[in-house]
Amino acid sequence: MKELKLEDVAVARGAAPIVRDVTLTVPAGEVTVLLGPNGAGKTTLLEAVAGVLPIASGRLTGDGDDLAGLDRVARARRGIALVEQGRTVFTQLTVAENLRVVRRGGGPDRTAELFPELDKRMDVPAGLLSGGEQQMVVLARALAMSPSVLLIDEMSLGLAPVIVKRLLPAVRQLADEGVAVLLVEQFATLALEIADTAHVLAGGRVTHSGPAAPLRKSPELLHAAYLGEPGRVDEEGA
Ligand SMILES: Nc1ncnc2c1ncn2[C@@H]1O[C@H](COP(=O)(O)OP(=O)(O)OP(=O)(O)O)[C@@H](O)[C@H]1O
Q: What is the pLDDT of residue 145?
A: 83
36 C-alpha to ligand 1 centroid (Å): 12
Under 8 Å between Cβ of 82 and 151: yes
Q: Specify the residue with its C-alpha closest to ligand 1, atom 16.
A: 41
Where is average pLDDT lowest: 37-46, 84-93, 198-207, 208-217?
84-93
**Most informative mutation of 13, 33, 184, 200 for ligand 1 (most atoms within 8 A of CB):** 13
How far apart CA 64 and CA 112 sit, in angstroms, is: 35
Under 8 Å between Cβ of 183 and 169: no
Half-sphere exposure of 104 (CA within 13 A, CB side): 8
Q: Between 14 and 227, where is the model more confident?
A: 14
> What integer is the mean pLDDT of 144-152?
92
Under 8 Å between Cβ of 35 and 188: yes
How far apart CA 172 and CA 211 sit, in angstroms, is: 16
Q: Specify the residue with its C-alpha closest to ligand 1, atom 3.
A: 13
List the domains of the chain with CATH numbers: 3-237 (3.40.50.300)
> What integer is the mean pLDDT of 97-108?
71
Write out pLDDT tens, residues 5-40: 999 999 999 999 999 999 999 999 999 999 999 999
* Ligand 1 contact, 86 CB (< 6 A): no
Longest CA–CA separation in the chain, Å: 54
> What integer is the mean pLDDT of 148-175?
92
For residue 228, what pLDDT band results from cuts at 50, 70 and 90?
Answer: low
Residue 168 CA from chain centroid, whole number: 11
Q: What is the pLDDT of residue 172?
A: 96
Nearest atom (ligand 1) to Cα of 85 = 27
Under 8 Å between Cβ of 195 and 212: yes
For 37, 45, 80, 116, the CA distances from 48, given in Å and listed in that order, are: 19, 5, 12, 33
23 C-alpha to ligand 1 centroid (Å): 19
Under 8 Å between Cβ of 185 and 42: no
> What integer is the mean pLDDT of 187-192?
93
- Closest CA relative to residue 237, chosen from 223, 226, 228, 217: 217
In this structure, what DSSP letter does residue 126 have? G
Question: Is pLDDT of 213 > 50?
Answer: yes
* Ligand 1 contact, 72 CB (< 6 A): no
Angle at 152 between CA 170 and CA 193, to 5 degrees: 50
> What integer is the mean pLDDT of 211-220?
90
For residue 100, what pLDDT band results from cuts at 50, 70 and 90?
Answer: confident
Where is average pLDDT lowest: 32-36, 104-108, 190-194?
104-108
CB count within 10 Å of CB 60 equals 22
Average model confidence (pLDDT) across the chain: 90
